Amino acid sequence: MAFILAVLSLYWGVFFNVQNRLHHLLVYVVDMDGATPFGNTGNQPFVGQTITQLAEKQLSSGMPTLGWSVRSGSEFNNDVLEVRQAIYNWDAWAAIVINPNATAMLYQAIATGNTSYDPLGACQLVYQEARDNTNWQSFMFPIISAFMTQAQSQVGKTWAQMVLQNASDAGTLANIQAVPQAVNPAIGFSEFNLRPFFPYTSIPAVSIGLIYLIIISFFSFSFYMPIHMQYLSPKGHPPLKFPQLIVWRWAATITAYLFLSLAYSFVSMAFQLNFTTSNPVTSETQVTMMEHGNPIAYGHGTFPVYWMLNFFGMIALGLACENMAMVVGQPWMGLFLIFWVITNVSTSFYDIEIAPDFYRWGYAWPLHSIVEGSRQILFDLHSRIGLDFGILIAWGAVNTGLFPVCCWFQRWKTQREVHEYWPMN
């Protein structure tokens, strides 16, 4: 009971007081309003100022909120594409950009009666849903959506007061009637989801389906152990020496992982995840086209890379299970499986940035690298694939080094008839 309480608490603990750590999720508020050449119109930019003040007010309110970071447009050379590049590079989770002409276009619409004025041209929201769809939908977008609604309301209120001061002019009244959208809602937010999370059949491939990768690798031990033991007393030829048995067991296990990971990878392909067709949009700063499926990262080489990620992931997860099975034996191996699944799931399916600091070890856990690598491969995200493979290979190397020791320990227990079960009277 104590073990179950302790291990399950690791999962529940990820979300403990999560609202107090939402400020770790960085969101840029980039004010480009009034940038050249729109700063020479003679009108004081107010859209950007109103929205940045709202962000600062939320930060100082003491209420749980996101990590709003007000940035000057000059940091990005007043170039919206540079902001998008920063979001693609994971410098921040999202960005609210006030376009350079936000205020100028409002004044022009009222002054000229420009019926083509589009409020959505004033501001934009840039994000990548595929980076972590759970994080985005559960924690970020509800707060950002409320922020944009409030910003739209405050800008609209301020602008309406400014317009009404000149409403006595007949020409201004005529223009207001011609361009009502320039008064209400006045501004809007165009949304640019650089990497949409689609198709939804990719959910198992980057989340719950990966639990089965652990389970498959776990049961390979009990499935293949009787076969390995036959080589100790074979019929018709000499038995393997102990060092030879170690090499055979390791090689057979790795070979099994190679084909099991291939079968696992084929499941995603069978349910029509895209592994072959590159998206027509290849730019890191443009929105990929959902009708062409998920935007793969490596063209025709995507499936082999995905397979190898699952293969090395299974080595990292499975060899640890193999070693623990030889050391602790039955029935305690089942407890290790519970621990192994929960610690990997807790630090992989949910963002460690908003977990308590205790969970920082999760960055080194195998499943975290598998999830991150899978998202990068399937959705053409910012690449840390070298780091992900490196962590998995390191796990495999360490467990390979421990493999002979664990084999020797298992033999020692067998020779001395050491049993893991409680002695029975």
* Residue 221 reports pLDDT greater than 80: no
CATH number of the domain within which 162 lies? 3.40.1710
Residues 338, 267: Cα–Cα separation, whole Å? 25
Q: Is residue 38 part of a domain?
A: yes
Last residue of one domain, picked from the residues 193, 219, 243: 193
In this structure, the answer to whether residues 64 and 113 fall within a common structural domain is yes
% of the chain residues with pLDDT over 70: 93
- Residue 113 sits in the same domain as residue 214: no
Which domain-ending residue is among 193, 213, 234? Answer: 193
Q: Do 82 and 175 belong to one domain?
A: yes
pLDDT beyond 70 at 78: yes
Q: Report residue 125: phi and psi, to 5°.
A: -115, 125
pTM for the full model? 0.92
One domain for residues 63 and 97: yes
Containing domain of residue 167, as a range? 13-193
Based on the fold, state whether residues 299 and 362 are members of the same structural domain. yes
pLDDT score for 223: 64
Which of the listed residues 133, 162, 193 is the one where a domain comes to its end? 193
Contact between 248 and 240 under an 8 Å Cβ cutoff? The reply is yes
Q: Compare 421 and 30 and report the one with higher pLDDT.
A: 30
User: Of 111 and 357, which is predicted with more confidence?
Assistant: 357
Q: Specify if 423 maps to a domain.
A: no
Residues 275, 309 contacting (CB under 8 angstroms): no
Does residue 7 lie within any of the structural domains?
no
Cα–Cα separations (whole angstroms), residue 6 to 354, 360, 367? 21, 18, 20
Residue 280 inside a domain? The answer is yes
Q: 406 or 36: which carries more pLDDT confidence?
A: 406
**pLDDT at residue number 237:** 65
- 136 occurs within a structural domain: yes
134 and 69 both lie in a single domain: yes
Which of 163-172, 204-213, 290-299 is the least confident region?
163-172
Looking at the structure, do residues 147 and 288 belong to the same domain, yes or no?
no
In this model, does residue 421 exceed pLDDT 60?
A: no
Among 141-155, 237-251, 340-354, 390-404, which stretch is predicted with the lowest mean pLDDT? 237-251
Residue 127 lies in a domain: yes
What span, in angstroms and rounded, lies between the C-alpha atoms of 314 and 128?
Answer: 28
- Res. 167: pLDDT tops 60: yes
Query: Residues 184, 215: one domain?
Result: no
Instruction: State the total domains in the chain.
Output: 2
Report the share of the chain in percent with pLDDT over 90. Answer: 75
pLDDT tens digits along 129-139: 999 999 999 99
pLDDT at 240: 73
Could you tell me if 205 and 188 lie in one domain?
no
Q: Is residue 64 part of a domain?
A: yes
Same domain, 144 and 222: no
Q: Are residues 275 and 323 in the same domain?
A: yes
Structural domain contains residue 1: no
Q: Is the pLDDT of residue 423 over 60?
A: no
> 21: number of CA atoms within 13 Å, CB side?
13
- Reported as a single tens digit per residue, the pLDDT across 233-248 is 666 667 778 888 889 8
